[in-house]
Structure 1
Amino acid sequence: MSTLFISDLHLSPATPTINHCFAQFMREEAVKADALYVLGDLFDFWIGDDDTSDFANFVRGEFKQLTDAGVPCFFTKGNRDFLVGKRFAKQTGITLLGDETVIDLYGRKAVVLHGDTLCTQDVSYLKFREKVNKKWLQWLFNRIPMFIKKKIVSKIQSDIRDDKKTKSLEIMDVTQSEVERVMEMHQVDLMIHGHTHRPDVHIFETNQSTNTRIVLGDWYTQGSVLVCDKKNIELQTRPFL
């Protein structure tokens, strides 16, 4: 048995190949796991828990089927699905996590997070993140008509694409000092996150210990899964069929 981690699938009605790979992963692999952790950006953009489209119901159904089978599923919100809320959790059986969560991974403590808060050089994004995570703004957004929501989301997505064009990869990557600060604060030597779309295993030394930071991959050209059991931790890929 193993514990599985995924992030940055960016599912949408326009990504049928990724959606199919996701469904296959949930039905054939995740269902056999000890637990599944989704570390943000499952969606290209989640418009709100009141979305009743076929696509939204498809994703809900996959999680409900998994949790009904007895597999615990934990969800950390990313920068594309910060509007996932209690209704989605109740409908699917998932457990929503905070921005940073310490878990017991077969006897080893690890901190799991989406990873966007580690990118401290990306000042404009962090300002955007602070704004959209304000509870009053989310409350207001969740109460406007769906057609207006879609227009707002379309504008946000366009702004995000334009913003990325002007930024260097270094600015959008994590800041090492922030990584070390978070790990030290939580007293762990293992961190798992997504967001940067740079799958890798980073080993680094601090005064206290040897540390490991694992970055999950995106699902743009193939599936990406971190598989952990009592003996091994391995980043793996899943081909699109």
Structure 2
Amino acid sequence: MILLISDLHLEEQRPDISRAFLHFLKTRASQAEALYILGDFFEAWIGDDAISPFQRSIAQALRQLSDSGTRIYLMHGNRDFLLGQAFCREAGCSLLSDPSLVELDGERVLLMHGDSLCTQDEAYMRLRRWLRHPFTLFVLRHLPLTARQKLARKLRQESRTQTSMKASEIVDVTPAEVPRVMAAHGVHTLIHGHTHRPATHRLQVGGQAARRIVLGDWDKQGWALQIDGPDWQLAPFPLG
């Protein structure tokens, strides 16, 4: 069994989500061969050197799962793109690039966080390119902790404000971008998060049937894609 989740946005202010995640690790994930977390695992991450006691407790829970035999893979999201190798070593997980090609149940599958597919949101795409530039990442990681905290608060507030003002199609994936990216990677299954709009979309790529599976965010309920042989199930579950 393989599990894929995304967009938990873990933070101390939402203990219901962190409790549900810890329960998920001890139950379903403990029976899985692999767990993939496709970005926005934390609501914010300003550097591995700034890990809080809460975040460290999450890393320790992941390490316990990893030590029990479940492989854990973590991908950056737009909220936690500064997650680094130090956290992954502590948590016993492997950091995936975005996008990544993996094999699931014998099929080549493309995994993404999903924000890079939202090309109609030109302002965000410009910001994303700037934030992910190697020079910017170097500068951000070497800023004083207080400066990083202030910048993170500013970016989160601006993100909320801008998102609330944009049309829904602007903050969703660009329809034409999906088959283009899938064709470029030679796949017929794409799995991503980010949009908080869980669904399985059918489409054509290169004249063949294809699918885009969108993982749900953890807020009022949790979401997971469970792959058990040929059985792929995307389903919600209560956080309580």
Give the whole-Å Cα distance in 2 for the aligned partners of 1:151 and 1:205: 44
Give the whole-Å Cα distance in 2 for the aligned partners of 1:207 and 1:84: 35
| Residue 208 (structure 1) shift | 2.6
1:42-57 to 2 correspondences below 5 Å: 42-57=41-56
Q: Which runs of 5 or more structure 2 residues have no equivalent in the other structure?
A: none
Q: Which runs of 5 or more structure 1 residues have no equivalent in the other structure?
A: none
Range 61-70 or range 75-84, more displaced:
61-70
Structure 2 partner of 1:227: 226
Matched, 1:22 2:26: no
What are the Cα deviations for residues 80-103 of structure 1, in whole angstroms up to 9, with x where unaligned? Answer: 010001111111121111111111
Alpha carbons 2:182, 2:205 under 8 Å: kept:
no
Counterpart code for 2:33: D
SS at match of 1:170: coil
1:152-163 to 2 correspondences below 5 Å: 152-163=151-162
Change (3 A) 1:154 1:232: same
Counterpart code for 1:164: T
Structure 2 partner of 1:149: 148
Counterpart code for 1:43: F
Change (3 A) 1:147 1:206: closer
Matched, 1:39 2:38: yes
Give the whole-Å Cα distance in 1 for the aligned partners of 2:218 and 2:158: 22
TM-score, length-scaled by structure 2? 0.97
1:1-241 to 2 correspondences below 5 Å: 2-241=1-240
SS at match of 2:211: strand
| Residue 8 (structure 1) shift | 0.6
TM-score, length-scaled by structure 1? 0.96
Change (3 A) 1:154 1:187: same
Give the whole-Å Cα distance in 2 for the aligned partners of 1:146 and 1:13: 19
Q: Aligned Cα RMSD in Å?
A: 1.1
Aligned length: 240
| Residue 177 (structure 1) shift | 1.4
Give the whole-Å Cα distance in 2 for the aligned partners of 1:213 and 1:56: 31
SS at match of 1:142: helix
What are the Cα deviations for residues 207-236 of structure 1, in whole angstroms up to 9, with x where unaligned? Answer: 431001000000010110000111211111
